[in-house]
Amino acid sequence: MYSMRSQQSELVTRGLYSNNKWEALPSPTSPEIHQRACIRLPSSLCKPSLRTYFDWDDSGNEDYAKRPALLDLFAGGGGAAMGYYLAGFRIVGVDIKPQPHYPFEFHQADALTYPLEGFDAYHASPPCQTYSMMQNIVKTKEKHPDLVAPIRDSLMATGKPYVIENVYKAPLKGHLRLCGTSFGLRIIRHRYFECPWFRLELLPPCNHSKVYDPWHKDGVGQREKLSTAMGIDWFMTRPEVREAIPPAYTEYIGKYLLEETKRRREN
């Protein structure tokens, strides 16, 4: 893991901070609103449940088939997957539950036992309930096993680069913390990423002023507001979007991951 300790004084001067967790201090300036062109997917991925949410591109099929392949474990509704797609990967998702709104190739299976051969890189978002603050309060952590360690062992055994995502207090090693406000998203959603195979640059610091607070109360349009704040352009149910990773996070990480996979292909 790349250590930032030697640059501590420089980071403080620039309004950044790191203690081997790559965390950022709040900034008084307002973030710019995240803008992105309409997402176009290869027509080979077109599903009836997604036809109204994306532009479909026949010319992209051949290019997409040649991309490095990323296996998305514990895939959920596809927030992380979309970011990796935008970064340049071909995506295959796996989740133990059906995911009808997942935009890419999907297999309903146990992520802990799914075959890992044939992929260039991996992302895993094991369930976070066992690490959440609420679970500590209600004392039901025993109902949710710790899956970070076993999935890490499996991914390390492949010898390929991987990313593991989770929440605060999850047992990640040398983790990177990302916040929506660092990307100009109007949402505070801290997520932590274990990325041991490659180096990432520091992002602008968090800015928690004037952002959408989806947890204040539920109401009409709450799901739509949360989706918009997270940069999710396609339909997800409320439970799906509440658990999703903003695609901007993995698009950022994915660009570095893609460089690492290409470097390995060339060597």
* Residue 111: Cβ-neighbour burial (10 angstroms; 0-12, 13-18, 19+): buried
Per-residue pLDDT, 184: 87
Pairing of strands 55-57, 40-42: parallel
Per the CB < 8 A criterion, the answer to whether 227 and 208 are in contact is no
Position 54 pLDDT exceeds 50: yes
**90-100: per-residue pLDDT in tens?**
999 999 999 99
Please give the helix or strand (H or E) that residue 239 lies within, else none.
Answer: helix 238-243
Per-residue pLDDT, 3: 35
Per CATH, the number for 67-266 is 3.40.50.150
Highest mean pLDDT among 31-40, 86-95, 145-154: 86-95
Low-confidence winner among 6-20, 45-59, 185-199 (lowest mean pLDDT): 6-20
Position 140 pLDDT exceeds 60: no
Per the CB < 8 A criterion, the answer to whether 33 and 231 are in contact is no
Position 253 pLDDT exceeds 80: yes
Position 202 pLDDT exceeds 90: no
Please give the helix or strand (H or E) that residue 71 lies within, else none.
Answer: strand 69-73
Going by pLDDT thresholds of 50, 70 and 90, the confidence category of residue 143 is: low
**Alpha-carbon gap, residue 183 to 205, rounded angstroms:** 10
